[in-house]
Chain A
Amino acid sequence: MDMKTCQSLTGETASVAKREAAGNAVSGLNFVMEQAVAGVMDLKAARNEESWDEARISGKAAAGFDREALLKRTLGDEALAGEMLDCFVRDMPRQFRRLRALIAIKQAPEAAAVAHLIKGAAAAVACQPMSDQARIMEELAGSGDLTPLPDHLMELECRFLEVEEAIDDASLKDPKRDTDGGET
């Protein structure tokens, strides 16, 4: 997913757009997102010398979410895996808002702490690329260099959108819970 596409899909815009897309399966946005996610999946599959179909069948979700690894973390408990993903999807938008605000007011140590939290949460649900991205942000903020962080945050949100799509595909999200809003 390129930065321009990502930019148009982040934050409030993405929420509104995704709701519209949900109402129309063949909408342009849906198509763009599918193509973008598929592109990442193809790249990952090619990198691993494994076709997308093989990756899908084996449960190694592309777009940064590894279903098998998550189930290993829950010792095979699918319900718990679904509950964790639900927590993650509900909490991340709030953490992104906090991080954006801290970058804006140039609070480097606090921004590093939020990036650290995102890193841990993403690792907990086996979203390693997101965790790696957050680690880079934690290190940058830890060194006091906030200049590149807005771009990194955009990339992080981009990865999160891909992860959300992959989670939907992996059929692990807790169906009982509404995903609007985060922990207050």
Chain B
Amino acid sequence: MEEKHEQTEGGGDREPCRIVIVDDDFTCRCWLRGLVTNIGFSVVGEANNGDEGIEVVKRVRPDVVLLDVSMPVKTGAMALPEIRRACPDAQVIMLTSIADQVTVMDCIDKGASNYLLKDCDAEEIKSALMELKEECGLQESE
């Protein structure tokens, strides 16, 4: 997959923040891909379940992982610790329609950076991703 490069203030090229989307829903993946690309991320991998997600993350080592909770084969909550081990620097955002406190706390305890609901305002998702994008930029410039 060809990656886009952003122009920095100093005029140099900087790699855009690299993201992997893990969701079993074809339509949601399409939505997330469009949304994150529009705000300057580079989608470097996609996966259909937790197992595939772990493999993709190991291979491409992204900056950010968007991880659905409810998936076949291996759920997002089950895949999260392995993803964190495979790529400790990657920020993992859980994105789901499940809002129960136990699942949220479980994912946060396992190292998720944030937990967003799929039916929340798209601006909210954008803000959370923009914050991560800023962090990516800061890490690259350090």
Q: Do A and B come from one complex?
A: yes
B72-A120 in contact (CB<8A): no
Given A75-B38, A75-B123, are A84 and B25 also a contact pair (CB < 8 Å)?
A: no
Q: Which residue of A lies closest to B120 (CB)?
A: A73
Residues from chain B with Cβ under 8 Å of A183 in the complex: 26
B118-A120 in contact (CB<8A): yes
State the interface size on chain B (CB cutoff 8 A): 20
- Cα distance, A125 to B30, chains bound together (Å): 11
B28-A73 in contact (CB<8A): no
Residues from chain A with Cβ under 8 Å of B121 in the complex: 72
Residues from chain B with Cβ under 8 Å of A84 in the complex: 27, 30-31, 34
A113-B70 in contact (CB<8A): yes
A87-B34 in contact (CB<8A): no
**A132 interface residue per 8 A CB criterion:** no
Contact of B30 among A75, A87, A113, A117 (CB under 8 A): A87
B45 CB to closest chain A CB (Å) equals 17
Residues from chain A with Cβ under 8 Å of B25 in the complex: 117, 120-121, 124
- Cα distance, A123 to B38, chains bound together (Å): 21
What residues of chain A have their CB less than 8 Å away from a CB belonging to chain B?
72-75, 77, 80, 83-84, 87-88, 90-91, 113, 116-117, 119-121, 123-125, 182-183
Give 9 new A-B contacts, CB below 8 A, not counting A91-B26, A117-B25: A74-B31, A74-B34, A77-B38, A80-B38, A119-B97, A121-B26, A123-B118, A124-B27, A124-B31
